[in-house]
Amino acid sequence: MGIVVQKYGGSSVADAEGVKRVARRIVEAKKAGNQVVVVVSAMGDTTDDLIDLANQVSPLPPARELDMLLTAGERISMAVLAMAIHDLGHEARSFTGSQAGVITDAEHGRAKIIDVTPGRIQAALAEGAIAIVAGFQGVSQTTKDITTLGRGGSDTTAVALAVALAADVCEIYSDVDGIFTADPRIEPHARKIPRISYEETLEMAAQGAKILHLRCVEYARRYDMPIHVRSSFSEKEGTWVTSADKVAAEDANQEGMTMEAAIITGVAHDRSQAKITIVGVPDKPGEAAAIFRVIADAQINIDMIVQNVSAAATGLTDISFTLPRGEGQTAMTALTRLQDSVGFASLLYDDSVGKVSIVGAGMSSSPGISARFFEALSEAGVNIGMISTSEIRVSVVVAEVQVTDAVRAAHAAFDLGSDEVEAVVYGGTGR
């Protein structure tokens, strides 16, 4: 009898009906002969409502108390879910992150998991019960205070528990059928990817595909825990995220598959970025370092950086980088203060940019991928602003209004589409 960890996001348990539907699904997994551990997020908008409440009493609530407050959300959803399962005639026991043994550091609001000691979960499973665990939360090893894991926390809880319990699989449920070759809202011919490697998933997620959070994929990769991304609204197989070896072996096993795997796995896009260009930077050692030290000190995560070759005549160069749009103002303020000491000419800010990326593990052994990508964009009339690459990814920054054209052009150029149009709603996975 195997152990299955299932994670349900807030949209899957938004109301009593949703909770009952999920409960039936959990009971099915149990009836199929599995030991079932369920990680659940807060119901629907609960977290936002609690944040509103906090803001009503304090403009800047202390992080420890905010964590205490927000963890009430999962406490509610997990208890209600356990009740719904009980109502179907199966025993279910809910556990807080602390009770489930999710031990973290003391960084409230973005705690990292240090250890998982799921003794109480194992005891519940041994007694034949279904264990329901609050996602997103843990307890600090040093202060014994309640912590939250930050964005993507519930997915990370699920993978971490799956690893600690040596589960067969960690199933991540949301309202989409799996990971697609592109966002189906943009590319109606997008196809569900049956199997994808951790590395490709990380690149897709990092490049804006809102499927799984980076953190949970990194955790799964480190311990080689298979993730099955699927919809709580359908019975379809979703997308299996595993090691590249397993993806290749499974692809080879499939009847009718060619011996060569697809070179490109999917197209990701991201409309949440802005671009800052620093014009006329003196091309001498230390200038770039000074600039990016300022950005780093402001706690801003930058993404792509491009520095042009300096013009020989002037000895000046331009440096461009992309960053989350919400942090644009902070970065511009910090850089403006630096203008005199660095002596650059001016700053340009552009928040009408988008990023489009092609991702594929087969890319590194296939020359000409970038060329084919750029040609497709050119044929679609899309102008490229910036380029960056990794072993398994090529990303370009384009005008935001051209993101859709760029995604479709790339999708077609690498034959990613299916003939059918998939009827899916593409969304996030909640926390």
Q: Which of 54, 163, 61, 66 is nearest to 110 (CA)?
A: 66
Which is nearer to a second copy, 77 or 404 (by Cβ)? Answer: 77
Q: How many CB atoms lie within 10 A of CB 365?
A: 9
388 within 8 A of 354, measured Cβ to Cβ: no
Q: Which of residues 2-41 bind a second copy (CB under 8 A)?
A: 16, 19-20, 23
Residue 4 CB, nearest distance to a second copy (Å)?
A: 21
Distance in angstroms (rounded) separating the CA atoms of residues 303 and 386: 11
Minimum CB separation of residue 141 from a second copy in Å reads 15
Decide: is 186 part of the binding site for a second copy (CB under 8 A).
no
Question: How is residue 343 written in tokens?
Answer: 């002596």
| CA 242 – CA 224 distance, rounded (Å) | 7
Q: Are strands 146-148 and 169-174 parallel, antiparallel or unpaired?
A: unpaired
User: Using CB under 8 A, which of 1, 33, 57, 309 touches a second copy?
Assistant: 57
**Cα–Cα distance between 131 and 122 in angstroms, integer?**
9
C-alpha dist (Å) from residue 25 to 81, 185, 226: 11, 27, 20
* Rounded Cα–Cα distance for residues 98 and 108 (Å): 14
Q: In the bound complex, what is the minimum distance in angstroms from residue 363's beta carbon to a second copy?
A: 48
Which two three-digit tokens encode residue 231? 């919809």
Q: In the complex with a second copy, which residue's Cβ is closer, 74 or 175?
A: 74
CB of 124 to a second copy, least distance (A): 11
Tokens of 156: 């990370």
Q: How many residues bind a second copy (CB under 8 A)?
A: 38
Whole-number Å distance between alpha carbons of 47 and 49: 5
- Where in 59-118 is the site for a second copy (CB under 8 A)? 59-62, 64-66, 68-69, 71-73, 75-76, 78-80, 82-84, 86-87, 92-94, 99
140 binds a second copy (CB under 8 A): no
What is the nearest approach in angstroms of a second copy to the Cβ of residue 75? 4
Piece of the chain touching a second copy by CB under 8 A; list 54-62, 229-237, 268-276, 289-297: 54-62
Nearer to a second copy, 131 or 209 (CB): 131
Interface with a second copy, residue 412, by CB under 8 A: no
DSSP 280-306: EEE-STTHHHHHHHHHHHTT-----EE
- The residue (of 18 and 430) whose beta carbon lies closer to a second copy is 18
Say how far apart CA 397 and CA 277 lie, in whole Å: 13
CA distances (Å), origin 49, targets 46, 69, 282, 326: 5, 11, 50, 22
Which residue from 58, 254, 333, 418 is in contact with a second copy, where contact means CB under 8 A? 58
Question: Which of 54, 279, 316, 412 is close enough to bind a second copy by CB under 8 A?
Answer: 54
Residues that bind a second copy (CB under 8 A): 16, 19-20, 23, 50, 53-54, 56-62, 64-66, 68-69, 71-73, 75-76, 78-80, 82-84, 86-87, 92-94, 99, 120, 144
